[in-house]
Amino acid sequence: MPAERPATDPASVRSGRDHDVVVLGATGFTGELTATYLAEHAPAGLRWALAGRNRGKLEAVRARLARIDPALTALTLLEADSSDAGSLRELAESTRVVITTVGPYLQYGEPLVAACAAAGTDYVDLTGEPEFVDRMYLEHHDRAVESGARLVHACGFDSIPHDLGAWFTMQQLRSSDPVRLRGVVRAGGTFSGGTLASAMGAMSRVRQMREAMVARRGKEGRPEGRKSRAVSGRPHRDRTLGLWLLPLPTIDPFVVARSGAALDSYGPDFRYTHYAGLKTLRYAVGGVAAATGLVAASQVGPLRRLVQRKAKQGDGPSVARRAESWFTVDFIAESAGRTLHTRVCGGDPGYSETAKMLAESALCLALDDNPSTSGQVTTATAMAENLVARLQRAGLRFETVG
C-alpha cells in the first residue's frame, strides 16, 4: 500500500520555495521539448526554471523559449550537475517538483533522487530502467515517506500509457472478481538515443537487475488479502485484436502490477501481461530476431558501444518526422465471463508525447489535489484521475472500444 503523507505534512514548507517546477537536463533534446511544452502550456503564474551543467547552453534554450513567450527572457537558470551533490541539494530545496531527463538513470540518477527524498521534493523522470527503479526504492523510499516526497518514476511513454491505461480500464470494468488484463502496444516512430542507451545498459546487467528485483520484493511485501502480479505471456495470435502478440520485457508490466497492489479497485486477484502487437507472422518473427540480436549485442562491450553510437544521446528526429509518429495501447480485460476492450492512443511516443506526459505529471503534482501519498509511487497511485484528465485535455485519447 502507498504510504500516506506524514502528520507534519511539509507542503507548507514547499509552498514557500522559489519555484514550483524545475526542469533538469533542459539542454538535451527531450529536456528542451519538455521546457517548450511548459512554455506553451504552463498556467499563468507558474514559477518554473531551467537547470543544467552549462549556463551558456541554458541561456540558448531560454532564448528559444522567449520566442514563444517574451516574458521567458526572465526565466531563472540554475546550474546543477549530477556529479555535484551540493548543487543537487540546493536545486531540490529550491522547488516543489523536479523534472529530470538526465539519463541513463542508473548511471546519473541516484544523487538527485536522494536529494529530493531528503528535501521532501516531488520528483518525476523518464526512466524505463527496472534496476534503477528498484534500487531507488530500496535506498530512498523510506526517507521519502518521512519527508513527504513523492518519487514518481517512468512518467513518459514508459510507463504512463500502460499504467494509466490499465487504471482507466479498471475504472470502467469495476469488477470484484479476479481480473486478467493484457496490454498490447503498437507504435510508429523513432526511438531516442537515450532510450537505446538505457535499454542496452539494462540488458547488459540481467543478474544485477534480478538481484535488485528480489531485494525489493523482500522489503516491499505483498498487499494483504489481495494479489497483483505481472505475468509472462507467450507469443500467439490474439483473436480479439487480430494481431500477433510478442511478450514485451519492459518496465511497464512491473509498474502496472505495483499500481494493482496499491489500489483496491483492481480487485482481489489482478494479473497483467504486456505485449507488442504485430500485424503479420513475418513481422513477429522479425521482431523476435531483432530483439534477440539486441540482447546478444548488449552482452559484448564493443558491440554494445557500436549500437549505441548509431543513435547518439541528445539527438532526435525532425518536427516533420515526429508529426508522422503515433502509438496505441489496447487493453483487453477479462473477468467473470465479461470482456472489456479499451485503448490509449496519441502521437509521437518517443519525444513529443513523452515531453507532454512528463510536463503534465509535474504540473499535476505541483498544482492538483491528488491522493495523499509519499515515497516511491506510480502515476496511477499518485495522481491517476487528475493526470488522465490533464492528458485528455492535452490530446491523448483514453477510450472504451467495446
For every one of its 402 residues, what pLDDT tens digit does the chain have, with 9 covering 90 and above?
A: 555 545 434 454 456 899 999 999 999 999 999 999 999 999 999 999 999 999 999 999 999 999 999 999 999 999 999 999 999 999 999 999 999 999 999 999 999 999 999 999 999 999 999 999 999 999 999 999 999 999 999 999 999 999 999 999 999 999 999 999 999 999 986 655 555 555 556 667 889 999 999 999 999 988 999 999 999 999 999 999 999 999 998 999 999 999 999 999 999 999 999 999 998 655 445 544 454 444 444 454 554 455 455 555 556 777 888 888 899 999 999 999 999 999 999 999 989 999 999 999 999 999 999 999 999 999 999 999 999 999 999 999 999 998
* Grid cell at residue 318: 525532425
pLDDT 10s digits, 123-137? 999 999 999 999 999
The answer to whether the CB of 361 falls within 8 A of the CB of 384 is no
Domain of 371 in residue numbering reads as 11-155+352-391
Q: Are residues 215 and 317 in the same domain?
A: yes
Looking at the domain assignment, is residue 402 inside a domain? no
Residue 399 domain-assigned?
Answer: no
User: Is 251 in the same domain as 379?
Assistant: no
CB contact at 8 A, 28 and 102: yes
Q: Is residue 1, in this structure, part of any structural domain at all? A: no
- Same domain for 167 and 98, yes or no, is no
Q: How many domains does the chain have?
A: 2
Same domain (yes/no): 171, 151:
no
Q: Are residues 364 and 386 in contact, defined by beta-carbon separation less than 8 angstroms?
A: yes
Share in percent of the chain as helix, strand, coil (round to 5): 50, 20, 30
77 and 98 share a domain? yes
Mark whether 318 and 245 lie in a shared domain: yes
pLDDT in tens, 204-249: 788 999 999 999 999 998 899 999 999 999 999 999 999 999 999 8
User: Is there a domain that residue 270 lies in?
Assistant: yes
Report if residue 246 sits inside a domain: yes
Q: Where are the alpha helices (DSSP H) in 263-371?
A: 281-298, 301-310, 319-323, 352-367
Cα separation, 382 vs 364, in Å, equals 10
- Cell, residue 282: 513475418
Same domain, 128 and 268: no
At residue 386's C-alpha, the angle toward residues 375 and 373, to 5°, is: 20
My answer on whether 177 and 124 are in the same domain is: no
Angle between helix 160-173 and 252-262 (nearest 10): 40
User: Quick one: 75 and 220 in the same domain?
Assistant: no
In a domain, 401, yes or no: no
Do the domain assignments include residue 273? yes
pTM for the whole structure: 0.90
Closest by Cα among 79, 82, 43 to 58: 79
What is the CATH classification number for the domain harbouring 63?
Answer: 3.40.50.720
